[in-house]
Amino acid sequence: MNIPRLKIGDLDIKVPIIQGGMGIGVSKSRLASAVANEGGVGVISGVQIGYMEPDFSTNTLEANMRALSKEIRKAREKSPKGILGVNLMVAMRNYKAFVKTAIKEKIDIIISGAGLPLELPKLVKNSKTKIVPIVSSKKAARIILKQWEKVNRLPDAIIVEGAKAGGHLGFKAKELMGNTYQDLQDIVKEVIETVAPYEEKYHKVIPVIAAGGILEGVDIGKMLDIGAGGVQMGSRFVATNECDANDAFKKAYIEATKDDICLLNSPVGLPGRAIHTPFIDKTNLGRIPAKKCTNCLIHCNPANTPYCISDALIHSVNGEDGLVFSGERAGEIKEIVTVKKLFDELIKDLKSYIL
């Protein structure tokens, strides 16, 4: 039996897997192009993507725009026929500039979360770029659908990110700590029901993509069974040769155990999930003042932020002590493989599940 293809607008995706956008610098052109070449959707994270540019600290916006263009072009050169996306957080300062740069580079898909991307339809007007919001509840999906409908645009797909995802989470800390959050499968079903009337009214297919805790082929199969059009996977792609992060970052994944995965407060204003590092111990001892602020987040005040999330993420991706975001199941990953081998394993397991 063939694996169902994922269609987002006029984009025909051979394998229904979207690689999660992971910043800072974890998923850039090398990883995204490798995933796209295997038939999935390769995603570049736009968060502080210019961190390696020489003028990053003095000319941050221009450095970020320059780097975003570079990475999209490099990914396209390596995967001329693949499907590529960028992940842009609504919470980023200069969000509009990032969107416009991505459109200028003719990116296939813009994926946007960490807030409600209510302005996104207007920003992509007259472009062929597909727009995919990330939600964690049917309420958020309903708000986006109602607001986007007013400007005659609907999502081309919706990603539902559950509580087992890595990085920033759209759930209350109390729910996460007490394990009282809603199950991903239930949220996916609810969002599918929420989307259905819009699909019928506008004769448009809006696939719902499941994310958070997806690690193996059987996980993909279970989500397809309940009506999801595909899945988004982040953590599993960190432990690949092509991942853009430093080897020490990847090593943190394959050496982590279940007990090493923890929750923390982020300057973004949302709970986050990461691998326990000495840096997290330091944050528990008190505030770590930012040495220099690049104004990366809308709601972050350097005068009282618990720590600079940009510095923490840049340190870790370079192999130094910092913040290593991960999904809840990262402790199950024990080997670094090629993207091709990972796809082969996932497809084999998924086919076995389907049969």
- Residue pLDDT, tens place only, 137-176: 999 999 999 999 999 999 999 999 999 999 888 888 888 8
Res 202 pLDDT > 90:
yes
Number of H helices, E strands in the chain: 13, 14
Task: Band the pLDDT of 106: cuts 50, 70, 90.
Answer: very high
Task: Determine, yes or no, domain membership for 217.
Answer: yes
Cα–Cα distance for residue pair 319/258, rounded to 1 Å: 21
Mean pLDDT, residues 347-353: 94
Cα–Cα distance for residue pair 312/323, rounded to 1 Å: 5
Task: Determine, yes or no, domain membership for 150.
Answer: yes
Which one is predicted more confidently, 331 or 170? Answer: 331
Task: Determine, yes or no, domain membership for 321.
Answer: yes
Query: How many structural domains does the chain have?
Result: 2
Task: Determine, yes or no, domain membership for 348.
Answer: yes
Are 81 and 193 within one domain? Answer: yes
The residue count for the chain: 355
Task: Determine, yes or no, domain membership for 75.
Answer: yes
Mean pLDDT, residues 56-79: 96
Are 280 and 194 within one domain? Answer: no
- Classified as helix, coil or strand, 85 is strand
pLDDT of residue 327: 94
Q: What's the chain's average pLDDT? A: 93
pLDDT of residue 303: 67
Task: Determine, yes or no, domain membership for 1.
Answer: no
Are 46 and 68 within one domain? Answer: yes
Are 193 and 281 within one domain? Answer: no
Mean pLDDT, residues 274-281: 92
In the chain, where does DSSP find H-type helix? 29-37, 60-78, 95-104, 120-123, 138-149, 173-178, 184-202, 217-225, 235-238, 247-255, 278-285, 309-317, 339-354
Task: Determine, yes or no, domain membership for 84.
Answer: yes
Are 55 and 25 within one domain? Answer: yes
Task: Band the pLDDT of 338: cuts 50, 70, 90.
Answer: very high
> Parallel, antiparallel, or unpaired: how do β-strands 83-87 and 41-45 relate?
parallel
Cα–Cα distance for residue pair 37/172, rounded to 1 Å: 37
Are 38 and 162 within one domain? Answer: yes
pLDDT of residue 175: 87
pTM: 0.95
Res 86 pLDDT > 80:
yes
pLDDT in tens, 26-58: 999 999 999 999 999 999 999 999 999 999 989
pLDDT of residue 164: 93
Which CATH number covers residue 126?
Answer: 3.20.20.70
Identify the domain containing residue 42 by its residue range.
Answer: 6-246+333-354
pLDDT of residue 171: 87
Are 311 and 346 within one domain? Answer: no
Task: Determine, yes or no, domain membership for 125.
Answer: yes
Res 300 pLDDT > 70:
no
Are 263 and 116 within one domain? Answer: no
Are 344 and 216 within one domain? Answer: yes
Res 310 pLDDT > 90:
no
Are 49 and 166 within one domain? Answer: yes
Are 198 and 140 within one domain? Answer: yes
Are 44 and 126 within one domain? Answer: yes
